[in-house]
Structure 1
Amino acid sequence: MRRVAITAAALLLLGSVAACGAGDEQSTGSGGKKKVTLTLNWVPYGEHAPFYYGLKKGLYDAEGIELTIKAGGGSGKTIQAVAQQQTDFGWADTPPLLKAISSGMKVKSVGVFLQKGPASIEFLADKGITKPADLKGKTVGGTPGDAIYATFPAWLKANGVAASEVKVVNLDAAGKIAALAEGQVDAIQGFFHDQAPTIEARTGKKVDYLPYADWGMNMLGTGVVVNESTLSKDPETVKAFMRATQKSWSEAAADVPAAADAMTELAENEPPREVLVRQLTLAVPLLAVTGGGLPGVNSEAKWTETIGLMSQYAELKDAGAPSKYWADSYATTP
């Protein structure tokens, strides 16, 4: 029986019920396990397969957690849901997390997993784009308000291209893929590991991309977000959730087909299996795990770099130190 994940729209309808499953003491499920909710950054795609793998393999059960995975409607909305205690954990991108915390939201990261950011400029391979300078005279679709959009002019400048030499067309997040597939724009701003396989499946054409990280601007990507009150009231559940999540990611990265099978079995509205396999395959190198470490273990230097870039290019006010945004004691090493 497939595990039903509520849609992003349903999550928003539940927004007024802040005490539903989070905020107060978590309810107890079968066998005395704690009922815990995780809200994703978007509707399920390949990057999320490790969570479903952990469910199927009993890795969360082994930590005393009865986990329910919910679809999201963007990192910003997921972070807000965590801040309003509508969900116990969020899976969200780091740049909007920094903005949320600077605006007063009482949330923190307990570990970023995609340490090489997936932000990129994507385009059909037949466009002949191989470097940022090739974007001169091109039309690029982007979504105002997200970090990729905000830092695009600076990324261009760092690569010797004036912002005036590239036309930016404002599109909503859901419309960018269609705009590129239908030839309305030459390129789009987005996460290459998510969107490129989807576009290739839709068009039958190869998609190439210029990752920001490979061209002078690497910011931390997606990770686990928790409300500060949860950290203070129930740190053991946070530690247990992170242990299970780190193990899930580590094992899923080593067996992508098994993770894809788990997601196909348990998720709702997931992409076709061949697409999610490709998405997870592209995500695994972004973990940037070295020296036998586990996914989700961060360094202060990487946080400082991301904070600095957001401060310089994305109007992050009163930036502060990494400890303002990141609780560093929850993601463990082997």
Structure 2
Amino acid sequence: MVQMARRGRRVMAGAALAVAGTLTLAACSGDTEASEPEGTSSDAPAAEELTPVSVQLQWLTQAQFACYYSALDQGYYEEAGLDVTILPGAVDIVPIDVLTSGGADFAISWVPKVLGAVEQGAAVTNVAQIFERSGTLQVAFADSGITSAADFAGKSIGSWGYGNEWELIAGMQANGVTLDDLAGGSTVQQAFDMNAFIAGDIDAAQAMTYNEYAQVLETINPETGELYTEDDLVVIDWNDEGSAMLQDAIWADADRLASEPAYEEATTAFIKGTIEGCVFAKDDPQAAADIVTAAGSTLGTSHQLWMANEVNKLIFPSTSGVGHINEDQWDATVSMSLETVNPEGATIITTEPPETAYTNDYVDAALEELEAEGVDVFGADYAPIEVTLNEGGE
């Protein structure tokens, strides 16, 4: 667990913390104890009045989650009446399992991954869709002969699996390419890095705009002695291809929402604080990157800033207010989940999810409060910054 004193606000982030009324689950983290903060914000509720809640992230501490770490650091959660613990994820941590087992009060996860769990009986609800756009790419070298998913036939196509492959498969199917058409008759199991791609073992690799894509751009091209550039690459963006699915969302316990008024209040408060954190990260991505680094991320300085900037692009400008779940995007994700076939011949889901699978009740309440307070929850004038990547992301 990391504790930092910043602007006089109480900040907590770490692997596991036992708090009254909240059961948290140990997560992979190298965090260590730091000194106790000197004080709390004068405009935040007293510590004993705060409601303790925890949120399970989908991955390790990094600027993908700048909204949450910024909200914690800047005291937005405290101002909303919450004492929040952030639980970093890992390869072997399934956020929805942590949520449904009582190990966290909220979880961050991609929608298609959770829809399968919902069909299997997980009583969870998407209460805020923080990422409005998908950050998933398929990246090839410019001389690969690949310009679209239609060119994947006969090629070695990398994928992480673990439910991260659905947009790729949906995009292939939309272009008339089946898994059998690929070299070897299926995707290649790709590590969570770009090493195999850079080595030439994979013709097109899976990458997130905010992470693995940058890993290539911060690597030396042996032919030039300089860093790879965007001109060296072909990028297939599933937002452009029409197979983008909803990604980072805040999930809550559906049974508790139906039976615990206090949990409902905490849900709205958590969403409100998170959105404020997103707005902070938009307005000052460097500060957000620094906050995440201080919370325990080991990513390099330029890579962390790149990530914060790219994540902002997935959130802003917001069509309906940050976190509001757009029905057309939800329906498109559900439709592809019903139609996309995995290597075993199964679709993500076989029936429409229940009405409890998502709701805008809590996020809209949070948005209304924020707009009344003068917070710009749309960011219509948002413009990303220019980030220069250094070798190795340093």
Q: Which moved more, 1:188-197 or 1:222-231?
A: 188-197
Q: Give 1:257 shift.
A: 1.3
Corresponding residue for 2:111? 94
Q: What is the alpha-carbon distance in structure 2 between the residues aligned to residue 19 and residue 247 of structure 1?
A: 23
1:103-114 alignment, distance < 5 Å: 103-114=120-131
Say if 2:67 is the partner of 1:50: yes
Pair 1:241-2:244 in alignment: no
Matches of 1:155 and 1:75, distance apart in 2 = 27
Structure 2 residue 144 is the aligned partner of structure 1 residue 157: no
CA RMSD, Structure 1 to Structure 2 (Å): 2.9
Gapped runs of 5+ residues in structure 2? Answer: 5-11, 26-44, 221-226, 342-346, 372-394
Alignment pair present for 1:20 and 2:49: no
Q: Who is 2:302 aligned against?
A: 274
The structure that is helix-richer by fraction is 1
Q: Distance in 1 between matches of 2:87 and 2:289?
A: 18
Amino acid across the alignment from 1:313: T
| Unmatched tracts of structure 1, length 5 or more | 23-27
TM-score, normalised to structure 2's length?
0.72
Local SS of the residue matching 1:301: helix
Show the 5 A alignment for 1:172-321.
173-174=191-192, 176-203=193-220, 204-206=227-229, 208-232=234-258, 233=260, 234-265=263-294, 267-287=295-315, 289-290=317-318, 293-314=320-341, 315-320=347-352
Q: 1:64 to 1:154 in 2, by over 3 A?
A: closer
Q: Residue 101 of structure 1: SS of its match in structure 2?
A: helix
Q: Aligned partner of 1:263: which letter?
A: V
CA distance 1:75–1:156, change in 2 (3 Å): farther
Tell me whether 206-215 or 41-50 shows the greater mean CA deviation: 206-215
AA matched with 2:302: E
- Closer, same or farther: CA 46–313 of 1 in aligned 2, 3 Å: same
- Partner residue, 1:25: none
**Match for residue 323 of structure 1 among 352, 355, 358:** 355
Q: 1:62 is matched with which residue?
A: 79
Does structure 1 conserve the Cα–Cα contact (< 8 Å) formed by 2:22 and 2:54? no
How many pairs align?
A: 317
Structure 1 164/132 Cα, relative in aligned 2: closer, same or farther at 3 Å?
A: same
Task: Report if the CA contact (8 A) 1:109-1:223 is conserved.
Answer: yes
Asked which structure has the greater RCO (Cα within 8 Å, sep 6+), the reply is 1
- State how far apart, in whole Å, the 2-side matches of 1:318 and 1:169 are: 23
Given that residues 81 and 87 in structure 1 are in contact (C-alpha distance below 8 angstroms), is that contact kept between their aligned partners in structure 2? yes
Name the structure 2 match of 1:141.
Answer: 158
Residue 32 in 1 paired to residue 41 in 2? no
Query: Which whole-Å deviations, capped at 9, do the CAs of 1:184-241 have from their partners, x for residues lacking one?
Result: 2122224332221234335542455212121121211111011123323110011100
Query: CA offset at residue 169 of structure 1?
Result: 4.3
Report the more deviating stretch, 240-249 or 224-233.
Answer: 224-233
Q: Please name the residue that 1:170 is paired with.
A: 188
Relative to structure 1, the CA distance from residue 318 to residue 140 in structure 2 (aligned partners, 3 Å threshold; closer, same or farther) is: closer
Cα deviation code 1:239-297 (max 9, x no counterpart): 100111111112212221121122122x2134112112111212222225446x43111
Larger radius of gyration: 2
TM-score (norm 1): 0.84
- State the Cα distance separating 1:5 from its structure 2 match: 2.2
Match of 1:5 in 2: 14
1:293-323 residue CA offsets vs partner (Å, 9 max, x unmatched)? 4311112222111101101114143432572
The answer to whether the 8 A contact 1:60-1:66 is kept is yes
Q: 1:272 to 1:29 in 2, by over 3 A?
A: farther
Contact 1:192 1:211 in 2 (8 A): no
Distance in 2 (CA, whole Å) between partners of 1:326 and 1:173 is 32
Query: What SS class does the counterpart of residue 86 from structure 1 fall into?
Result: coil
What is the identity, as a one-letter code, of the residue corresponding to 1:268? G
The Cα shift of 1:75 comes to 9.5
Secondary structure of the 2:206 match is: strand
Contact 1:139 1:169 in 2 (8 A): yes
- Is the 2:217–2:228 contact (alpha carbons within 8 Å) kept by the matching residues of 1? yes
Q: Which residue of 1 aligns with 2:223?
A: none
Partners of 1:217 and 1:155 lie apart in 2 by 5
